[in-house]
Amino acid sequence: MTAPYIVIEGMDGSGKTTQAKLLIDFLKNHKFKVYHNIEPSQSPIGKHIQQMIKSTASRPETTALAFALDRMLSYDQNLKYAKEKYDYIIADRSYLSSLAYQPLQGCRYDWIKELNRYVEKPDIVFLLDIPPEEFTKRRGKTKVIFENEDFQRKLRHSYLSLKENLPLDIIILDGTKPKYEIHERIRELTVKL
Ligand code: TYD
């Protein structure tokens, strides 16, 4: 049996990293082997992407290609093996981020879908949903071009419509709830996989 691929998705500042950490700690405390996958990755391409999204110099299509390539390479070089060797894969972001963000930059949704046709598909997605005003409250120093309330408002719609459009198990969770309450729901569904 291969490890379930569990994805935590959501807007900037929705609490993905906190929830991934709580879930990983919980599973490790129960002696499971857990692989943490983060997108964009720490590879040279992932690091290049971090630069690309700091300004509007790159065309959105170039950014979309870079995200898809980073994802495909990470799978070939790490995730494919991790699925065999670990009990759980916990991922901070996935191709759903590309489907939610890049169309808002002007890329065609169907083209993004096609680009990501061969990426690994999640067994379950936890989508942390927060109102855009909450993003503004939580936001620290702005790092990337997506971090403004107007973009985050559109992004929220983009994410919520993925639940209707993708044949995936997408669980929407209220990201404004206390973090341990959210964690309990995530872990309850994770251990059932
Ligand atoms: P990062 O600082 O790693 O943010 P986070 O901790 O919120 O994941 O920056 C990643 C940014 O890139 C984030 O704003 C979401 C965006 N992104 C895309 O636009 N498309 C994608 O496919 C992915 C994976 C991320």
pLDDT band at 140 (very low <50, low <70, confident <90, very high): confident
Number of folded domains in the chain?
1
Query: Which residue CA neighbors atom 22 of ligand 1 most closely?
Result: 98
Identify whether the C-beta of residue 40 lies closer than 8 Å to the C-beta of residue 95: no
The pLDDT score that the predictor gives to residue 156 is: 97
At CA 65, angle to CA 64 and CA 66, rounded to 5?
90
Q: Residue 60 CA to chain centroid, in angstroms?
A: 18
pLDDT at residue 60 above 90? yes
Q: Which of 97, 8, 114 is CA-nearest to residue 53?
A: 97
Residues flanking ligand 1, CB < 6 Å: 12, 17, 39-40, 53, 67, 93, 97-98, 101-102, 143-144, 146
Give 45 Cα–ligand 1 centroid separation in angstroms: 13
Secondary structure (DSSP) of 20-69: HHHHHHHHHHTT--EEEEESS-SSHHHHHHHHHTTSS-S-HHHHHHHHHH
What does the pLDDT look like over 96-127, one tens digit per residue? 999 999 999 999 999 999 999 999 999 999 99
CB atoms within 10 A of CB 64: 23
Q: Going by C-beta distance under 8 Å and a sequence separation of 6 or more, which residues neighbour residue 137?
A: none
Query: Which residue CA neighbors atom 20 of ligand 1 most closely?
Result: 98
Q: Which of 175, 133, 146 is CA-nearest to residue 16?
A: 175
Give 82 Cα–ligand 1 centroid separation in angstroms: 22
pLDDT at residue 173 above 90? yes
User: How many CA atoms, within 13 angstroms, populate the side-chain half-sphere of residue 56?
Assistant: 5
Flag whether the pTM goes above 0.95. Answer: yes
- The backbone torsions φ and ψ at residue 150, rounded to the nearest 5 degrees and listed phi first, read -65, -45
pLDDT at residue 68 above 90? yes
Pairing mode of beta strands 124-129, 88-92 = unpaired
Q: Hey, is 125 helix, strand or coil?
A: strand
Give 1 Cα–ligand 1 centroid separation in angstroms: 30
Instruction: Kindly give the number of the ligand 1 atom that is closest to the alpha carbon of 68.
Output: 22
Give 40 Cα–ligand 1 centroid separation in angstroms: 7
Q: Which domain holds residue 124?
A: 5-191
Task: Say how far apart CA 104 and CA 107 lie, in whole Å.
Answer: 7
CB atoms within 10 A of CB 128: 24
Give 143 Cα–ligand 1 centroid separation in angstroms: 10
Instruction: Kindly give the number of the ligand 1 atom that is closest to the alpha carbon of 101.
Output: 19
Task: Say how far apart CA 189 and CA 124 lie, in whole Å.
Answer: 9
Q: What is the CATH number of the domain that holds 61?
A: 3.40.50.300
